[in-house]
Structure 1
Amino acid sequence: MAKYSCELHGSFNHFCQFLKNELINSSFSASIEDEHYYDIHDVHVGILILERYSYTGGNRLSLSITITEYQNHIQVTAISSGGSQAMFFKINTLGEDAFLNKFKEAIKNYKNK
């Protein structure tokens, strides 16, 4: 399991759409498995679950993303999982790291816009 968190500034809706487009276009096999959005008073919350096939691991893995925004201050966390091939411990997590790196690239692209 690999994790990455960061803080950004911008529009919640624009960021969510940008992130989905970047991640879907970054991998031939990437897909959005589910997404859910809600508000708690003035705080916007989004949960995205993506999946893709890992050629190095020979299996599918997921990327779970939580996005919160308050007054254009965005906090986002992504956790990848499912890339291991062993039954009782984790080996070959290269696919998880690679999927998380696609997320990091998308964040970098958003910051550079």
Structure 2
Amino acid sequence: MAKLERELNYDFDELLHRIEQGIMNGSSTASLEDASDFMDSDARCSVRVFERYSAMGGNRVSLNITLFQNGNGPVKLSAITSGGSQAMLFKINTFGESAFLDRLREILD
């Protein structure tokens, strides 16, 4: 499992669109598995779950992204990958997870 957390000064909707397009266009095997959006007064939260095939690991990995914003404050991002290990008792070969998170870093930078 790999994790990335940041506070970003972007328009919420533009950032969400940029992430969705960047992930989907970054891999021919990427898919948006599900999405959820919430609003309460001035607070917003969006959750996206992506998957893609990892050739290095020979399996599928997931990337879960949560965006949260309260009012006009910064957008808080939490991104967590999983599913890249091949072992039963401990994690080995997590290259696919790290590569998926690196794609998000490229989109944000």
Q: TM-score range, shorter-chain basis?
A: over 0.9
- 1:12 paired with 2:35, answer no
Report the 3-state secondary structure (helix = DSSP H, G, I; strand = E; otherwise coil) of the residue aligned with 1:69: strand
- 1:46 paired with 2:54, answer no
Determine the structure 2 residue equivalent to 1:94: 95
> Shift of the alpha carbon at 1:40?
2.0
Q: Deviations over 1:41-74 (max 9, x none)?
A: 2011000000000000000010001100121510
Task: Determine the C-alpha separation between the residues in 1 that align with 2:78 and 2:40.
Answer: 18
Task: Determine the C-alpha separation between the residues in 1 that align with 2:60 and 2:17.
Answer: 23
Q: Is the 8 A contact 1:8 1:74 kept in 2?
A: yes
With structure 1 as the length reference, what TM-score do the two structures score? 0.92
Task: Determine the C-alpha separation between the residues in 1 that align with 2:73 and 2:81.
Answer: 26
Amino acid in structure 1 at the alignment position of 2:32 = I
**Aligned residues: CA RMSD:** 0.8
- The answer to which of 68-77 and 86-95 deviates more is 68-77
Task: Determine the C-alpha separation between the residues in 2 that align with 1:5 and 1:39.
Answer: 21
With structure 2 as the length reference, what TM-score do the two structures score? 0.96
4+ residue segments displaced more than 2 Å: none
Q: Equivalent residues in 2 for 1:1-113 (5 A)?
A: 1-70=1-70, 71-108=72-109
Determine what percentage of the aligned residue pairs are the same residue.
42
Report the 3-state secondary structure (helix = DSSP H, G, I; strand = E; otherwise coil) of the residue aligned with 1:44: strand
- Counting matched residue pairs gives 108
